[in-house]
Every structure is written in C-alpha cells, then in structure tokens.
Structure 1
C-alpha cells in the first residue's frame, strides 16, 4: 500500500507491506504521531492501540528509512540509521522515501493513504 507522509510539514511517500501488522496500521490511517529520539537510531511514537502480531514475517534487521513496529512497547519506529540485529519483536512494516536527515530530526509525522 502506498502512503503519503507529512514530516514536520514536508511531504514524502512510502510503502506499507502486505503483512497483517501493515494492514492493521493501514486501518488506523490517517494517523498523526509525536516522535522522540531513541538511541540515536530511530524516532518513535505510539499509535492509539497495539497492532496485531499474528503471522509476523521472519525477523530482519531494520535499515535506514524503514517503518517498523516494536511489539513489546506498542510503538512505531522510523529508522534514520540501520537498526540492531534481527528481533522477533520488531516487525518491519514498510519503507519511507524521505531523506534520512529529515527523519532524524522529525518531531511530528502524519501517515495517510496515498491517492
């Protein structure tokens, strides 16, 4: 699914994968989140509810520009650096076509379906 992002007022595009968690996130759109930095690698924010983790894909390490969901905390993560080793708790939901510099300083993000 193609998505449109507004990151601190700047537009960008992205794609959600067709996983159950990706579809669950899509059901919440449009969604606006306040973001905070986490470990100098990602910006995190909390959707209004936890996403499904049913039929989660094989774990893979997050890469810069990935959108992911960390199941234990229920947060979305926007990676601006490559992430840690693969973890079954981190579900990659999609990829963002935005400059990493913009992602690194993002304070607010809106995600909506692309037209």
Structure 2
C-alpha cells in the first residue's frame, strides 16, 4: 500500500504522520492545506469538521481505530484523531492514516494543521509553492517570477 507523508502540526508542535492509499485518504489530501479546531469526543478522540464530505467509494474493510489513527467519520463528515483505541470496527469510520505522537499530546490538542509533505523518495521535490518577499514592492510572489 502506498504511503503518503503529510506534515501535521498540533498546537504548534510538528508530528510525523502518514496517509494510507485509500480513496478517502487521497480525497482528504486534495483538501490540504487545512487548519482545524479540535474538540473532544467521548474522551477517546479529538474531532473537527471538514470543509466537505470525502469520497468513501471503494473503502477498505472496516477496522477498529487505534490510538494515533487519523480517521474520517462518514455520516457526520468529520475528521477524528484517536488518542485512545476506538470502538468496534464500523463501515462508517474510515482510517485515513496515522500520527506518530503520544496519547497525551493528542488528547490535549486544540488545533491541527495538515499540509502535503515532500516525497521522501525525492527529498528535493517539495509540493508547496515557494513564496518570497521581494525587497522593493512588498508583495509576495512566486520565487521564479520576475521582480516587481
């Protein structure tokens, strides 16, 4: 299964994270970058509303969420970060990936930022556009653009 690396920041602290290659995870990646406010749900997960529902076609077999899992709850269209193991497997809960972070940090997180990350196989390729501040005009511009 193809693993997609993402940049995740929880309350200003970077954590390692990956997405799986499911249709829902690929659709989630299309929403990036995202910054979301998190709230507690059942003392098991932190949740946030996504800007739109994700594609759930071709979803893999249901699996129980484990601490550190990044998941999508299809009926409500929200993102879930589990800091404790979740309930029994459900077809409504799709695992999107995993965060390599302790349960304490996940359980206290109030804000999450998720961005695309460079492909580790090609570290020189960074998918984010590069912006610089030119010295004379004060407008952000692409690095390869001509000066103002």
TM-score category by the smaller chain? over 0.9
Deviation at 1:43, TM superposition (A): 0.1
Kindly state the Cα deviation for residue 13 of structure 1 after the two structures are TM-superposed: 1.2
Q: Does 1:85 align with 2:88?
A: yes
Match of 1:54 in 2: 57
| Greater Cα offset, 94-103 or 61-70 | 94-103
Aligned counterpart, 1:12 = 15
Alpha-carbon shift at residue 32 of structure 1 (Å): 0.7
Number of paired residues? 115
TM-score, length-scaled by structure 1: 0.98
Residue by residue, what CA displacement relative to the aligned partner does 1:68-108 show, whole Å, maximum 9, x if unpaired?
A: 00000000000000000000000000000112111000000
Task: Output the CA distance in 1 between the equivalents of 2:102 and 2:5.
Answer: 17
TM-score normalized by the length of structure 2: 0.77
Structure 1, unmatched stretches of 5+, are: none
The CA distance in 1 between the partners of 2:21 and 2:107, in whole Å, is: 26
Q: Corresponding residue for 1:72? A: 75
The one of 36, 45, 49 equivalent to 1:33 is 36
User: How large is the RMSD of aligned CA atoms in angstroms?
Assistant: 0.5
Q: Deviations over 1:16-60 (max 9, x none)?
A: 000000000000111111000000000000110000110010000
> Structure 1 runs of 4+ off > 6 angstroms?
none
